[in-house]
Amino acid sequence: MPADAQTRPTTTKERPVFAMKLSIPAGTFRAYLFDCDGTIVDSMPLHYIAWKQALAEWNCPFPEELFYAWGGRPVRDIIASLNEQHGLAMPVDAVAHRKEGLYHEQLPQLQAIEEVVEHIDAQHGRIPLAVVSGSRRSSVIGSLSALSLLDKFQTLVCAEDYTHGKPAPDCFLLAAERLGIPATECLVFEDTDMGIEAATAAGMASVRVPQPHERRPGTVATASA
């Protein structure tokens, strides 16, 4: 269990199965790095509900298309950008705290993305695993704890740990450094274009996990060497 982790629930939530397959690139990888939201946990719809509720208190629009386009960006960066777009002065820390609280209220509804969890379970104890997220540590720990997955990972790299968010490669490079594995020997699992760009910039191969609206029978998650 990561040193900064909290005690996780002892109950195991039933996991649904999505009709998609993951295509893993050829090669031998010594570490797997996973984004959290939308990759390990099917949390993006819940995050969007929380965003809509928090921003409605400030009459700030946030179209769903833009929410998914900005997937992977730190919460505070999103609020700052929305302030700039709409000429608002929302208090960044307060709105971020409100949004995270609204998300945590929905954790009992959270489900895992089974095809990704299969790879976590298969590699746990064989190679080091890390979570690399644009969310803050409290959110990541809450999501992973809700699904009894927290102890699968050697380290969590969260929004507090780096300055330049995805598509900059900093977060993935930090994870590789913590694990002691060269970047070229890490495989990244991501659901957003910005995340894939960050992995590529770090010199890492990647697997793109389809977003909720893309998951349907026959969907194949694409791999990039």
Active site residues: 35
Orientation angle between helical segments 193-201 and 170-179, nearest 10 degrees: 60
Listed in sequence order, the residues at least 6 apart from 68 whose beta carbon sits closer than 8 Å to its beta carbon are 44, 192, 211
CA distance linking residue 216 with residue 199, whole number of Å: 25
Q: 128: cis peptide before it, omega within 30°?
A: no
Tokens of 200: 């590529």
Inter-CA distances, 210 with 35, 97, 171, 183, Å: 13, 28, 21, 24
The residues facing 24 across adjacent strands are none
| Beta strand 129-132 pairing with 31-34 | parallel
Q: Which among 94, 65, 68, 92 is positioned nearest to 81, based on CA atoms?
A: 92
Listed in sequence order, the residues at least 6 apart from 67 whose beta carbon sits closer than 8 Å to its beta carbon are 44, 47, 48, 51
The H or E element spanning position 28 is none
